[in-house]
Amino acid sequence: MNKKIQLLDLGQKDYKETWEYQEELFKDIVDLKIRNRREELDLETPNYFLFVEHPHVYTLGKSGDLTNLLLSEKQLEAKGATFYKINRGGDITYHGPGQIVGYPILDLENFFTDIHKYLRFLEEVIIRVLADYNIVGTRSEGETGVWLGVGTPFARKICAMGVRASRWVTMHGFALNVNADLGYFDNIIPCGIRGKAVSTLNVELGVEKVDEVEVKEKIKKYFSELFEAEFVTFKEATV
C-alpha cells in the first residue's frame, strides 16, 4: 500500500480549471486500478492532495436543490461570482478568497475502504486544527462538516465537505473558512440547511486576519497523523 501523498498548492485558481484537473488525476488513478485488475498487475497507485483558493464561486452537488441559490444569473455576474453544478455529494456551497480548500484525491485501498470513516477523518482533521486555536469544533448529527455551537441557537458551520468516490478513489473535499467574506453566504442557503449560520476562523478569534500558511501546515500535520501518511513533493501523474 502506498501511503505517500503528493502535495500541490495551486494558489488561487479558477474553479472549473481545478475541477478538470482533479478529474484528470482521479481518472489516472482509476485507469491504473482497472489496468491492474485486467492485466493482473500490482502497480502502485498514487495519492494526491491539492490546496487551492478559488475566486468567488457557488457549487451545487448532484443531489442539491437549485432553489438554495438565491441569486439570478445577472446578480451572480454583478457580484463577480460563477456557478457550477458538479458531481460531488452535498447541496450548495460557496468558495472564495480567504477560504482554504483541500482536495484529497486518494486511492482509499492504500488506507482503508470505508467512506464513512473517510468523512469522519476529514472532519477530525479540521476539529484538531480548530483545537489548536482553542476553538471547539464538533460534528452535527446528519450534517457532514465541522460546526461550532451545536445544540445552541448559535450553531454555525465553519467547514463544509462534499466528496465523490468511485472504485475507492476520492475527489472533491473540504472548504475551511479562515478569512472568508461571510457576506457571500447570504446569497445561498448553505448546504441546504435553513436557520443555521456560517462562521470563519478570524471572526471566531476576533482578529482581522489569520495566517493561512500556518493553518495549512496544521491541516497537513493532522491529515498525515490520522491517515498514517507522508506528504511528498508533487509529481505529474503518469500511467
For residue 152, what is its C-alpha cell?
A: 445552541
Cα gap 182→180, rounded to integer Å: 6
Q: Is 90 annotated as a binding residue?
A: yes
Q: Is 89 annotated as a binding residue?
A: yes
Residues paired with 152 in a beta bridge = none
Q: Is 154 annotated as a binding residue?
A: no
Cα 159 to its chain centre, rounded Å, is: 8
Q: Is 172 annotated as a binding residue?
A: no
Q: Is 171 annotated as a binding residue?
A: no
Cα gap 162→164, rounded to integer Å: 7
Q: H or E stretch including 34?
A: helix 15-39
Q: Is 183 annotated as a binding residue?
A: no
Catalytic residue chosen out of the listed positions 25, 32, 191, 198: 191
Rounded (10°) CA dihedral 171, 191, 157, 104: 0
Q: Is 164 annotated as a binding residue?
A: no
Whole-number Cα distances in Å, 8 to 14, 36, 102: 15, 26, 10
Q: Is 127 annotated as a binding residue?
A: no
Q: Is 91 annotated as a binding residue?
A: yes
End-to-end CA distance of the chain: 17
Cα gap 203→148, rounded to integer Å: 12
159 counts as catalytic: no
Q: Is 181 annotated as a binding residue?
A: no
Binding site for substrate: which residues?
A: 88-95, 160-162, 173-175
Binding site listing: 88-95, 160-162, 173-175
Hey, which residues are catalytic here? Answer: 191
